[in-house]
Structure 1
């Protein structure tokens, strides 16, 4: 599964000169946890996350403190003041399996998708979850259609809980091709290609 097949495009984003109010409203209304930050040419210059906002966008309430609250630095006004610059990104041709590893071993919930330096989309953990949920019947129908389109009708295809079993006679190269075809179908989690069992 490739990033371009499941990413959200176009991505919700903010300009670095946008006000924090604009960013807060967009994040609240769209229920996103971060926003890519772009310049006038849609070049990615940073990311604004919930953490960035929580760290800097709220001043201490004096009513909640027994001792005097020290004067804090002025509240930021623009996104560019508190965004995280030079964010981690991915590309549309990246393997979603690699991103799953990143998502499960780090605090990243989403990544901007870039072409060169231009923002073209966002991929999130939610996008991956949505892509993984497809019924076995739906996957089987799509797999058979794709195998047919490639002239590979001789393979037997079975799907159980998103895991694809491809059975048939073929060389190692032909089995590799069959596996690649199966992996191209959205929602396939794992592929096994095996020769038929002899009676």
Structure 2
């Protein structure tokens, strides 16, 4: 029997997040401590303003070494144009769109733009496993 396809049942409710004013090394620390490949970037009111990936951090470090400058702030390297999803979105539709755009994660936001979660490929794999083999552990 097909289980839930609701975002709330598969999203991470407390995604790792940083501020645009944070140093890139602080973001790298978060990536390493929480063993994630990207973080959400939020303002002081928890509104989503971007995402920062491992590749963004590598770009920051390499740019710093090449240009002999300090690494800089998250705001300088984050992706600002982010495709986000809403709590009521169908997880199958989200998964299809993530594959189409080759995205590994999507922030989940409320109607006012506040970050409330994140869905990643790992959660999507769990959902697919539940759909394919609902009685298996």
2:102 to 104, 107, 122: 107
Return the TM-score normalized by structure 1. Answer: 0.59
Query: Could you say if the C-alpha distance between residues 40 and 58 of structure 1 is closer, same or farther in structure 2, counting changes exceeding 3 Å?
Result: same
Task: Point out 4+ residue stretches in structure 1 off by more than 4 angstroms.
Answer: none
Contact 2:60–2:72 (CA<8 Å) still a contact in 1? no
Partner residue, 1:56:
60
Q: Which structure is richer in relative contact order (CA contacts within 8 A, separation 6 or more)? A: 2
2: CA distance, partners of 1:122 / 1:11: 6
Residue 90 in 1 paired to residue 81 in 2? no
Q: Tell me how many residue pairs correspond in the alignment.
A: 130
Cα RMSD for the two superposed structures: 2.2
Match of 1:137 in 2: 135
Question: Which of 119, 133, 143 is matched with 2:115 structurally?
Answer: 119
Contact 1:43 1:119 in 2 (8 A): yes
SS in 1 for 2:41: strand
1: distance between equivalents of 2:89 and 2:129? 20
Alignment equivalent of 1:3, drawn from 1, 4, 7 = 7
Unmatched 5+ residue regions in structure 2?
none
Q: Which runs of 5+ in 1 are unaligned?
A: 62-70, 140-199
Q: What's the offset of the Cα at 1:132? A: 3.0
Aligned match of 2:73 in 78, 90, 97?
Answer: 78
